[in-house]
Every structure is written in structure tokens, then in C-alpha cells.
Amino acid sequence: MKELITAIGLLLFIEGLFLAIFPSRIKNILELIKNIPESKLRTLGIVFLIIGFLIIWYIKIK
């Protein structure tokens, strides 16, 4: 449970850092995302999910 809370904290830290440093760029990216079809966004989400899982799995087996 401690690792999950740490991971969530790290995620929030990184997202907040990007929002603080690049606010206008984030707004531009969000506008671009509006025009991408949901199927492509879903596929991208699944790819990121698998990559994240593999990274965590790799770290855990070491």
C-alpha cells in the first residue's frame, strides 16, 4: 500500500511540474487531443498501460 501511495504522489508531482513549467503548451496539447478519435486514444492508453506494467514488473523481479 505504501508503494501505491508513493506512485500516486510521484504521478501528481510530475503532472504538477509540467503544468507549472509549460501551462500554454499543455493547453495546446489538450486542444490537439480533442481532435483525435477515441479509438486511437484508447489504443494509446492500452500501449502506455502495457509499458507501465512491464516497467513495474521488471523492477519487481530484479
pLDDT band for 3, please (50, 70, 90 cuts).
confident
Does an H or E element contain 5, and which?
Answer: helix 2-21
pLDDT-derived band at 1, boundaries 50, 70, 90:
confident
Q: What pLDDT is attached to residue 28? A: 95
For residue 17, pLDDT over 90 is answered with: yes
C-alpha cell, 32: 490537439
What is the pLDDT at residue 62? Answer: 80
CA 13/CA 19 separation, integer angstroms: 10
Q: What average pLDDT does range 49-54 have in this prediction?
A: 95
Taking 90 as the threshold, does the pLDDT of residue 39 lie above it?
A: yes
